[in-house]
Amino acid sequence: MDLAGKTIFITGGTGSFGKACTEVLLAHADPKAIRLFSRDELKQSELQASYRDESRLRFLIGDVRDRERLLAATRGVDVIIHAAALKQVPVCEYNPFEAVQTNIVGSENIVAAAIANAVPRTLLLSTDKAVNPVNLYGATKLCAEKIVTQGNAYAADSVARFSTVRYGNVVGSRGSVVPIFAEQAPQGRLTITDERMTRFWITLPQAVDFVLSCLGIMEGGEVFVPKIPTMRVIEIAQAIAPDAELVFTGIRPGEKLHEVLLTEDEARHARAFDDRYLIYPEFPTWRSEPYDGGEPLPDGFRYSSAQNPDRLTPEELRAILPVLSPVS
């Protein structure tokens, strides 16, 4: 999608994804304006200071729980990237209603604002935790996906269209295992929940590029899943501190051994492309024509971190994050 001259609205705009996406958009997309929407005034002031001479940025304080604020903030917008969420699994478990308010009600508010203001394209950022969820965070993101997909039915007579991007763990993101291992490495002792555990991994630049590419091809209702590598958590530990003692603590509540990005049931209405899978809605009542393109998936196909043939080696991980040179 050509974003030149467009006004782009990013919820969670001061988070890791929002900041990385803003940098790419300013450098390569030539937008008319980027509205960064978040509730953290300190992060907004810090980001504003780093872009002191950039006239295309708009810093908007607000919460996705506040529908009236979203209605005002999204007027005249061409694209919404909905990245705001409560993401930490333990935080969501301990504060369940807060997670529901932000991740579910907030997504409903985004859909309502986009329809009211005729925003042509809205893209939700989701997670592998939304697939067969075993924790509240995953359950709220599954609900958000359903709300965004069916938003197309509510907007059938509008230009507004809604889709979702679902990807795995972002390498080195806040709260992930990589910075935890890096912090533990100098002590020579790393804690691992289970040696069998595997995860999908994507870098932050890859996530931004994938999201922006999905904006260009979305028609409304799709869930986009990137083809990304898998790595065992124990191999991450070996990449960061090969000589460290490994202490196994057991799987935590709400945690899985392996993650899934696409289930057997979803595979029946999904298609494979060179670099991604597209999961199409089962009941696209807002469309008169079927989706086309891609290759159908075989019966019983499951895109799981345990079965993924694309494996990331410790050497490849260190090349992605050179700051993580092995610590003895």
Residues 276 and 224: beta-carbon distance below 8 Å: yes
Tell me the two tokens of residue 138.
């995953």
Q: Which letter does DSSP use for residue 162 in this model?
A: E
Helix intervals (H) in 167-313: 177-184, 204-217, 233-240, 264-267
Residue 125 and residue 141: Cα distance in Å, rounded? 9
43 flagged as catalytic: no
How many helices (H) and strands (E) would you count in the chain?
12, 17
Residue 227 and residue 168: Cα distance in Å, rounded? 10
**Which residues, including other chains, have CB under 8 Å from residue 142's CB and lie 6 or more apart?**
130, 131, 133
DSSP string over 234-265? HHHHHHH-TTSEEEE--PPTT--SS-EEE-HH
Tell me the two tokens of residue 13.
């705009």
Angstrom CA distances, 203 to 90, 121, 129, 152, 263, stand at 23, 24, 17, 30, 23
Active-site residue among 19, 129, 141, 256?
129
Question: Phi and psi at residue 36, in whole multiples of 5°?
Answer: -100, 115
Catalytic residues, which ones?
129
